[in-house]
A and B are shown apart, each in its own frame.
Chain A
Amino acid sequence: MSEIDLSNYVVQVSGVSKKFKDLKALKELSFSVEKATCLGLLGPNGSGKTTMMKILYGKTLRDNPQVSQVSVFGYDPTTNELEIKYLSGIVPQEDNLDAELSVWQNLVIYSRFYGLSKKDYLPRLNYLLNFMELQPKRDSKIRELSGGMRRRLIIARALINSPRLLILDEPTTGLDPQVRHVIWEKLRLLKKEGVSILLTTHYMEEAFQICDKLIILHKGEKILEGEPNFLIEKNIEKYVLEILNLDHFEKVERKISVPRVEKTGNCYFIYSNDLEKLKQIRDKFSAGDSYLRQSNLEDLFLKITGRQLGD
């Protein structure tokens, strides 16, 4: 501990567990977020991502706070929840905008929670509306906004107090590709300005686009950690051939030896570093029955966490 320069780490978590009745949501989780970087928590539903996020800002209390450690800007959420929330912007999974207020009023009321005076919040809110491309919607009711606009507004709201850390719980779930790309671009801009980001996501592409480091969680445990590219290189074959026609496959399988195969109800996935070998197999199928591509984070994710539904 003493060797680490704390000021370079915005978040430090070690040995955190959480139990809900009989369910162990988190088991001895440890990680840290370096300044001005983005850490992504990946995992299927129920893997403990959201629980971990909530523990950071005191919405959920961790088990045995004496033996585990959580530090955000040097503060422990069990005792200094307010300081942490003052320094962090939080974007929760569910929409929780105040539907009774307009876009502008939502932002003003939130500025008040941080104790900002009119002189301070006016320029800030106008800047944020422009930044999130919401200026034309300034006086709209929340009900009139699309899902993408609401998300952007929630992110704008989280940015009011110029946070040094952004905590984003599935920021782009359910949004169309245009909005997702806009949000990713904004997050990259914020990172350049020195904001640290911690996010959870299901989207492998999202993790790839903005995360400097990834942690894959499964049933409350960390099972992999590393840079996105490095994780793929190290843990999964380079190429994958998807077979969509099962009947035919069994005939082929008898004739040639195939590398590692994963099976689901309707498809087979054949993994290999040997592209030629996969091409050879592919040629035995008609074009519509197979698909040869580079393997990606999603393949890794499925390999690690399994293909069956978790909940």
Chain B
Amino acid sequence: MINSNNKMIVKVPSFIFRIFSVWLRHYQVYTKTIISNGFPPFLEPLILLAGLGLGLGKFVGAIEGVDYVKFLATGIAVTSAMYTAAFECTFGTFLRLDFDNIYDGMLSASITVKDLLLGEIFFAGTKGLFFSSAVLIVLSFFGLIPSFFAFLAPLVGFLTGLMFGALSLFVTSFVTTINHFNFYFTGFLTPMFFFSGIIFPLNSLPKFAAQIAVFFPLTHSVNLIRALCLNKDNPNLFFDLTYIIIFILIFSFLAVWRLGKRIIN
């Protein structure tokens, strides 16, 4: 048990396994109330489609040759991923951090802050995957998805979840009271919902606004999912994917660095 330096030799679980065990904790808590947790992701797209698609769609007709219902519905698949990841890693994280001492408990086991936060982001990605899948299931039920490649679309939900999980953790690192999240939700996520090509195409915006929209992470998720679900030609797919991956890496790093400093003093 003891080597030449008088250190006890131990076999600590691997990095991947540790992240997975954090994920497993969140998964278990989430699925414990799966009926109440699994209900909204299926119901919300139904409400939106009925309200906006059927009602508004009559006036709009087709956008870029696509029925407005289809146009809108595919966008909703990524916004639901965005919102679930954002809620998980703002309010959820803040509660685990400050009120329930959940992180404190986890960090007493052989888990590091980095494992903890990456597990958190990974779970946000998983929720994104689940939420966008739910939307896509509802859509295909109504025959609204013409493309075979739509089966890859939940992966876009996963990436969207990772992006907004990482970004939201970073935002949480600045927050001292839970009310501060209003700035993030109303000041950033809501405008993004309207100006990233979900409700109307970006090329209908004035040029400067369209250029700003390119910086929004959600814009690239929307581009990817439309390409997959609607068979739309998209010459910039590689750029969109690269943007998303770099965004995830940068904000994961920033989140671990900033929140890590807050947890370890």
Contact = CB atoms under 8 A, between A and B. Distances in A.
A96 B108 CA distance: 10
Contact of A98 (B13, B21, B105): B105
B12 to A, nearest CB: 5
A105 interface: yes
B111 to A, nearest CB: 5
B18 to A, nearest CB: 7
Contacts of A83: 7-8, 10, 12, 110
B6 A113 contact: no
A95 B105 CA distance: 8
Interface stretch (B22-30, B123-131, B174-182, B200-208): B22-30
A101 B29 contact: yes
Interface string A273-298: 00000000000000000000000000
B105 A97 contact: yes
Contacts of B34: none
Nearest to B18: A113
B102 A98 contact: yes
Given A60-B265, A90-B108, A115-B21, A73 B101 contact: no
Contacts of B21: 109, 112-113, 115
Given A74-B8, A100-B32, A59 B264 contact: yes
Interface in B31-86: 32
B233 interface: no
Given A60-B265, A61-B265, A82-B112, A98 B10 contact: no
B8 A101 contact: no
Contacts, number: 98
A74 B107 CA distance: 20
A85 B264 contact: no
B25 A96 contact: no
A74 B2 CA distance: 9
A158 B108 CA distance: 8
Contact of B109 (A20, A61, A105, A114): A114
Contacts of A99: 100
Interface residues of A, number: 38
A73 B24 CA distance: 30
Given A60-B265, A86-B10, A114 B101 contact: no
Given A58-B264, A109-B28, A92 B104 contact: yes
B106 interface: yes
A61 B101 contact: no
A208 interface: no
B6 A100 contact: no
Most buried by B among A58, A110, A161: A110
Interface in B100-150: 100-102, 104-112
A101 B31 CA distance: 11
Nearest to A154: B105
B186 interface: no
A94 B5 CA distance: 35
A87 B108 contact: no
B6 A112 contact: no
Contacts of A59: 104, 107, 264-265
Contact of A105 (B7, B12, B28): B28
A57 interface: yes
A60 B13 contact: no
B7 A75 contact: yes
Given A60-B265, A61-B264, A115-B13, A92 B108 contact: yes
A6 interface: yes
A7 B3 CA distance: 10
B32 A101 contact: yes
A223 B225 CA distance: 67
Contacts of B111: 85, 113
Interface string B198-227: 000000000000000000000000000000
A164 interface: yes
Contacts of A61: 264-265
B12 A96 contact: no
Nearest to B100: A99
Contacts of A81: 112
Contact of A101 (B2, B28, B109): B28
B29 A100 contact: yes
Contacts of B6: 6-7, 74
B17 interface: yes
Interface string A77-89: 0000111011100
Q: Which 4 interchain pairs have the tightest Cβ spacing? A: A115-B13, A74-B7, A96-B105, A113-B109
Interface of A: 6-7, 20, 57-61, 73-75, 81-83, 85-87, 90-92, 94-101, 105, 109-110, 112-115, 158, 161, 164
26 contacts: A59-B107, A59-B264, A61-B265, A74-B2, A74-B6, A75-B7, A81-B112, A82-B112, A85-B108, A86-B10, A86-B110, A94-B104, A95-B101, A98-B100, A98-B102, A99-B100, A101-B28, A109-B21, A109-B28, A112-B24, A113-B18, A113-B110, A114-B13, A115-B12, A115-B21, A158-B108
